[in-house]
């Protein structure tokens, strides 16, 4: 498989479903404000230079989370205007990233998880192949969060399984990282779901944990991340 094919993070254009709304985006839109803050943090908040591929990943992730980011707007968002403003052809709730090893995928995911938690009260669930991979990814997220100003005051809980970030009004952003074990994962969920190295996970995790979430959590956003050999 050609590297150029592997670098394609954004889905191909498809027919756009009809959208209706009652207002246009503007400075009053909480969703627009969230998008701007998240993009700013990804670009310069972590003091890291992103590759073009990582930027594509992040743009696709924001596209997949768009409905969630605008879900707290007072007025119904105009998703047609939002897509035009962000250069998106459509909105998709699932993203599949396939890259060679050492391609920056895990770092890109960690940056995105940290940026979302920092700016949006939310619940994010990360599924990994094992406990070691699970705790390692969460450590990377925590390290990125601590680069942001005021992190020590806002991080209210941090261990090998979860990170909690405080938000105004007593709200929280919760990040949970789980090893791949279907028997112990039933009932878990979140607004954004990540499957790290999904190709190497037990299929039972997908069918017994993820599929029920897709059926019950109609407003869920699922980012499926998998790696492949060189």
Per-residue pLDDT of the chain (230 residues; tens, 9 = 90+): 444 444 444 444 433 433 333 334 445 699 999 999 999 999 999 999 999 999 999 999 999 899 899 999 989 899 999 999 999 999 888 888 887 777 888 899 999 999 999 999 999 988 877 666 667 889 999 999 999 999 999 999 999 889 999 999 999 999 998 876 655 565 677 788 888 777 677 777 777 777 777 665 444 555 555 554 44
Token pair for 97: 């990233």
Query: pTM value?
Result: 0.81
In a domain, 172, yes or no: yes
User: What is the chain's length?
Assistant: 230
Q: Which domain holds residue 195?
A: 30-223
In a domain, 173, yes or no: yes
The domain total for the chain is: 1
In a domain, 186, yes or no: yes
In a domain, 229, yes or no: no
CATH code at position 123: 3.40.50.300
Buried b (16+ CB within 10 A) or exposed e, 5-26: ebbebebeeeeeeeeeeeeebe
């Amino acid at each position: 498989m050609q590297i150029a094919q592997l670098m394609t993070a954004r889905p191909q254009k498809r027919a756009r479903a009809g959208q209706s709304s009652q207002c246009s985006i503007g400075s009053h839109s909480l969703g627009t404000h969230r998008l701007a803050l998240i993009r700013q943090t990804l670009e310069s908040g972590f003091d890291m230079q992103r590759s073009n591929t990582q930027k594509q990943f992040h743009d696709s992730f924001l596209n997949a989370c768009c409905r969630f980011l605008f879900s707290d707007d007072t007025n119904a968002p105009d998703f047609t205007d939002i897509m035009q403003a962000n250069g998106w052809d459509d909105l998709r709730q699932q993203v599949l990233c396939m890259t060679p090893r050492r391609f920056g995928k895990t770092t890109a995911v960690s940056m995105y998880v940290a940026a979302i938690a920092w700016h949006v009260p939310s619940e994010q669930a990360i599924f990994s192949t094992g406990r070691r991979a699970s705790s390692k990814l969460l450590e990377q997220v925590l390290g990125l969060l601590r680069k942001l100003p005021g992190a020590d005051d806002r991080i209210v809980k941090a261990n090998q399984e979860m990170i909690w970030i405080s938000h105004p009004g007593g709200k929280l952003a919760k990040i949970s990282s789980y090893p791949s074990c279907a028997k112990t994962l039933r009932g878990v969920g979140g607004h954004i779901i990540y499957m790290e190295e999904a190709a190497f996970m037990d299929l039972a995790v997908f069918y017994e944990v993820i599929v029920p979430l897709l059926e019950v959590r109609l407003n869920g956003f699922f980012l499926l991340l998998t790696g492949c050999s060189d």
